[in-house]
Chains A and B, each alone.
Chain A
């Protein structure tokens, strides 16, 4: 009963390095999301995917790219990490009814 699984849980990057956060859900949900959480800011939407093959920008997309690899998987890529991208990243998914949106456990990313 995994739900939403994201990896890695912790990562330290140097400025300018690239990395990809992986997310997979096993609930057959159509929609998937990437959020970032910063102290005092709540959660902000980076990108989302309404269905396989589609992606759209959220509130804070700059510096990120995403790929909806298939219905299960939605990855977030930082091409050239910056200290401002130090944050906790959450992947989420939801079904078509929208009344249940489930989150992964989070990925703690530090850029030095």
Chain B
């Protein structure tokens, strides 16, 4: 079945770049997503990339997709303390007429002032 793997923890200094990595298994995924979850809050859609793209940039966020290796990464430039959160990678596939997501377990990003 589908599986999404990501490292559980990442610690960076304020101002540095953060890179969160993710691997997935379903080569037929249509979209791949990054969600952010702050403590006690819901999931905020950060960005997504269509499976036929290699890269997507959105302000401080850069998403890289290596479809051959089934590897997805999220780079956050100039990381701030407000970026401290759990980041979830997810892949989507179409099942019974709707898009379904499979999530990784989340990477907890800690930003050191």
Contact = CB atoms under 8 A, between A and B. Distances in A.
Contact of A31 (B35, B42, B98): B98
B34 interface: no
A98 B29 CA distance: 11
Contact of B42 (A33, A45, A90, A100): A90
Contacts of B30: 98
A58 B100 contact: yes
Interface in B61-110: 88, 92, 94-101, 103-106
Interface in A26-71: 30-31, 33, 40-45, 48-51, 54, 56, 58
Interface residues of B, dominant DSSP: strand
30 contacts: A30-B98, A31-B97, A33-B100, A33-B101, A40-B105, A42-B4, A42-B88, A42-B104, A42-B105, A43-B88, A44-B103, A45-B101, A50-B96, A50-B97, A51-B98, A94-B98, A94-B99, A98-B30, A98-B31, A98-B92, A99-B50, A101-B45, A101-B92, A101-B99, A101-B101, A103-B42, A103-B43, A103-B45, A105-B41, A105-B42
